Structure 1
């Protein structure tokens, strides 16, 4: 009987001790990183640095909703700086051909300092240069196709105000550093062979086949190819 009484008293002492500890500390000891405990900082990936004078290349992948900024320093191969999510574009996949079709263009375009619009109704914007020589040669119509803020599109690429602010600033910086033209290459999707097979029955497949050499060249070399227009077709040359 005395042994049982001793065990009961010992258990009560342990319980009382735990209650006193919790009152003093606000709770039992916790593992690092658990709720309320000290959180160990995680090492973050260092942000890629851009130097004044680095050259900018913009690549858009429609199906993936990707808007990519690539930079080249000292004529070295381009490196991906950042990939943004496109808020919206319009008309689905395929090239723009007619004024008012509300299609967002595909193909090889570019912007210049004179095509920047700091007073846009959509916060900030820059014109992508549609129609280009290919579009004009094929009789395609339309104008004022932009990359802009907000999240509404009638043929433009809408990025939201905070994101266009960042992109616009980097485009401005490229021009301030001496770049005259920023190429903007717009693909319907990441043009891997698997994706080409997936879309082989599309009405646009013949057009997309003319874009693929430029996609492949950049993927292999991380250099922007030279694009010409011959016989109403794109002609891709080494950059």
Structure 2
């Protein structure tokens, strides 16, 4: 190679490197603007709210996300160490359907339990600021689920993410940053399809994701009764909560669960809540229409944002979030969920609630003493099936539907020291996968990859 060509090549490579750096900076942001966004202090109003609730600015946080209601809750520890709700934020946009993220391009936002470390905080986001959920977690990986860059971010635009406004994500980001500054090494995100109440469980009782959601509800209930961040592990391809494996054993996401125990105080309280919820579900079901499994709307948007997008007044919904003005967002960036008119124009069915089915009470079972491994389930234990397109919960949760099949006994004990519902859930680990697999067919939207690599 001649010397002029060598010089040109080196110059060309340098120019390409500079161009690439500039392009990356344009995508992610850099310099003072990034620092300014990521280091915005908590507002005086937020500092005052924290003080009113007997919290400290740098105390630990926990986040709960609810798809159907399009809400994000930030919880924070009080001076007594228990978590209390600090603030509820309306979610500007989420995509997909209710149900877990299964594969790249399905537009589904994650559901499950995710642990956020400082390394998952992104000040260079194309969407103002973002918090990476860390999807796929150990549970997701045990099912071979794929996807990346599933975020909570700004810009009110989503393809598999939970999109807030820039104003909202700045405050949420600051709360997380301060908790890390105060010594919290990681915080938990609990991403739920909806508030796991008896009413909502009754409405969605025929959804093929119900076995998976019952597993999520176990963790939801642990937090509800303890007001402490539940310790989350995965074994037998299901979540287990506040569990301590037997001496010399450990949890493996893809292997059968070992013997383990849960503290008596937690196991007893969760068991009581589950029995009460199941009884209420049984009472509600005959009068509760079943929610559609698939809406074809491509996700949801909190009513206050939808009203603003339509130029409508939303005083009532705003009052639920403090009555202030709706956080600003750029309508040009937002693709709202499909309306009934759009569904009809596209030749898609407009969701209508079908006739309700009967939800029989799940028969009770004797509780095992906490700290004692539970024996393997009997051969007539029922698990969910989806051959008919809807799950048959049978005796497991008392749902109507297709005939359930017996589960063969296993050599491993079910959830030691847990409430009966958990021991059944532990023995029926495959049931969660059954619902999730069916969901990938029933809920899979057309693959769309969002700009900037988010929502894969």
Which TM bucket (shorter chain)? 0.7 to 0.9
Tell me what 1:67 maps to. Answer: 72
Q: Tell me which of 133, 137, 154 is aligned to 1:132.
A: 137
More strand by share: 1
Distance 2:57 2:206 in 1: 45
Distance 1:163 1:74 in 2: 25
Offset of 1:52 from its aligned partner? 4.3
What are the ranges of 5 or more consecutive residues in structure 1 without an aligned counterpart? 1-45
Distance 1:110 1:133 in 2: 11
Q: Is 2:202 aligned against 1:200? A: no
More helix by share: 2
Offset of 1:48 from its aligned partner? 3.1
Deviations 1:72-105 (A, max 9, x none): 1356210100000000111121000101111000
Q: Is 2:116 aligned against 1:114? A: no
Number of aligned residue pairs: 194
Superposed CA RMSD in Å reads 1.4
Distance 1:62 1:77 in 2: 25
Tell me what 1:146 maps to. Answer: 151
State which structure, 1 or 2, has the greater radius of gyration over its C-alpha atoms.
1
Aligned partner of residue 168 in structure 1, secondary structure: helix
Offset of 1:69 from its aligned partner? 0.4
TM-score by length of 1: 0.78
TM-score by length of 2: 0.41
Q: Tell me which of 82, 85, 88 is aligned to 1:80.
A: 85
Deviations 1:97-154 (A, max 9, x none): 1011110000001211111111110000110110000001110000111110011111
Distance 1:205 1:55 in 2: 31
5 Å matches for 1:4-83? 47-49=49-51, 50-74=55-79, 76-83=81-88
Q: Tell me which of 200, 225, 232 is aligned to 2:237.
A: 232
Offset of 1:47 from its aligned partner? 2.1
